Amino acid sequence: MKQSQKLFNHSQWVIPGGVNSPVRAFGSVGGIPLFIQRGRGAQIWDVDGNVYLDYVGSWGPLILGHAHPEVVKAVQRAAEKGLSFGAPTEAELQMASLLVQLVPSMEQVRLVSSGTEATMSAIRVARGFTGRNKIIKFEGCYHGHADSLLVKAGSGALTLGQPSSAGVPEQTVANTLVLEFNNTQNLRETFQREGEHIAAVIIEPVVGNANLICPQDDFLKNLRELCTQYGSVLIFDEVMTGFRVALGGAQALWGIKPDMTTLGKVIGGGLPVGAFGGRRDIMQCVAPLGPVYQAGTLSGNPVAVAAGLATLKLIQAPGFYEKLGATTQALCTGLTQVAVKRGVAFSAQQVGGMFGLYFRTGVPQNYAQALDIDIERFKGFFHAMLAEGVYLAPSAYEAGFVSASHTLADIKKTIAAADVAFAQIV
């Protein structure tokens, strides 16, 4: 019996489902999840000694690749001074200062320990600021596992076929309005009907948790105008896209200034860091200045912040995002070409270092289209790629990630592996 199998058998006795986050269980693709032993650059090794090109990257944070030497050194230096203080440090001030510099819409920012904490807190602040209760979210967008946001959610909820969660009271989600992504008419009608009650709209500007869905036409521009017109707080959930698609996030690419932004993943460099911030007048509502309470024992943890600061320093290098985007585009183009050659209905797209693969003709523009894929072909493709030494997300509903450590040689190897995989699923 393989070591991963042994560990998974044991794990299921002491951890629900054997994993600490649902998608990791391989439940939607079948088989036994890999237990990872180590990573370096663009590669990971499992406990059975197999090596893979990794396109999961810890679900987005590892934009530099695994165990980047400068990030590791920064963590070691910080750890030697102490693991946690529960008191202000100069490092967290440096992190906050850098974030407001790189994301100008964030005039003030507060650090937390996860993306879920960031989005949950941003919603509470928006309600406190406006004195309203209702929020708008969009089908397939995942904003963490806070109760009011687990309605037609993406990520693991969608992967497991459970877009809503048990244990969430009906009254908790009664004030959550769920709309179709990229449907401006639906958005306008909802604001006309409910505008004076809407505290906030929270959105992934580029959906990354129902595979990858890009905003179309002037959707984000219209959303910004409606929020301004009705006095609702526009929250960009850039936990995934922040510093992944561009140095200033998706808001920089699309030229939209949200009222609040949530961040995570890349800003922690692989360690648990999140942040929420926005307009100064909104953020002044947060305790100890204002009546909206938010706190966290490990918020601004010095070791995690050190990893994030080291990562943010390196990604500011000239040409970093141009090279990352070109590498990711080469991957999508190559995969599409071999799919066409093999006669497989397939499409792909990328934004910065994020990409989406779809077993359908044409990229999806909303949640319903993201579901309209050949799931059985995806499962076959996933396992065939794994056998060829390429590790993709074990779900048809998750975006993939390229790191700065991926070379064009890695891309060519991946495309060659896909040629073999496509041939097996025709």
Of 207, 208, 225, nearest in space to 216 by CA: 207
Q: What is the DSSP string of 115-165?
A: HHHHHHHHHHHHHHHH---EEEEETT----S-GGG-SS--THHHHTT-SS-
Residue 40 burial by Cβ neighbours in a 10 Å radius (0-12, 13-18, 19+): middle
Three-state DSSP state, 173? helix
Question: Which tens digits make up the pLDDT trace of 43-65?
Answer: 999 999 999 999 999 999 999 99
How far is residue 243 CA from its own chain's centroid? 11
Summarised one tens digit per residue, pLDDT across range 305-314 is 999 999 999 9
Query: Which residue is catalytic, options 46, 52, 134, 142?
Result: 142
Distance CA 176, CA 228 (A): 19
Q: Determine the angle formed by the axes of helices 90-102 and 302-314, rounding to 10 degrees.
A: 40
Tokens matching residue 313: 């320093």
Single out the residue of 50, 27, 24, 26 nearest to residue 39, CA to CA: 50
Residue 335 and residue 357 in contact, taking contact as beta carbons nearer than 8 Å: yes
The pLDDT score that the predictor gives to residue 1 is 66
Q: What is the CA 8 to chain-centroid distance, rounded?
A: 26
C-alpha to C-alpha distance for 108 and 206, rounded to whole angstroms: 23
Active-site residue among 259, 265, 391, 397?
265
Burial class (CB in 10 A: 0-12, 13-18, 19+), 322: exposed
Pairing of strands 347-351, 354-358: antiparallel
DSSP of 226-252: HHHHHTPEEEEEETTTBTTTBTT-HHH
For residue 11, count CB atoms less than 10 angstroms from its CB and return exposed for 0-12, middle for 13-18, buried for 19 or more: middle
Class of domain 3-63+318-425: alpha beta
Question: Taking the CA of residue 170 as centre, how many other CA atoms within 13 Å lie in the half-sphere pointing to its CB?
Answer: 0
Q: What residue type is 129 in one-letter code? A: F
Cα distance between residue 256 and residue 379, in whole Å: 37
Domain ranges of the chain: 3-63+318-425, 69-314
- Choose the catalytic residue: 46, 237, 259, 410: 237
Q: How far apart are CA 180 and CA 139, in angstroms?
A: 6
Question: At which residue do the structure tokens 């409910």 appear?
Answer: 194
Is 397 known to be catalytic?
no
What's the token pair of residue 99?
């974030």
Q: Which parts of the chain register pLDDT below 70?
A: 1, 147-148, 150-169
Distances (CA, A) of 132 to 174, 175, 282, 400: 13, 10, 14, 36
Write down the CATH number for the domain with range 69-314. Answer: 3.40.640.10
Task: Please say if 237 is a catalytic residue.
Answer: yes
Farthest-apart Cα atoms in the chain, separation = 62
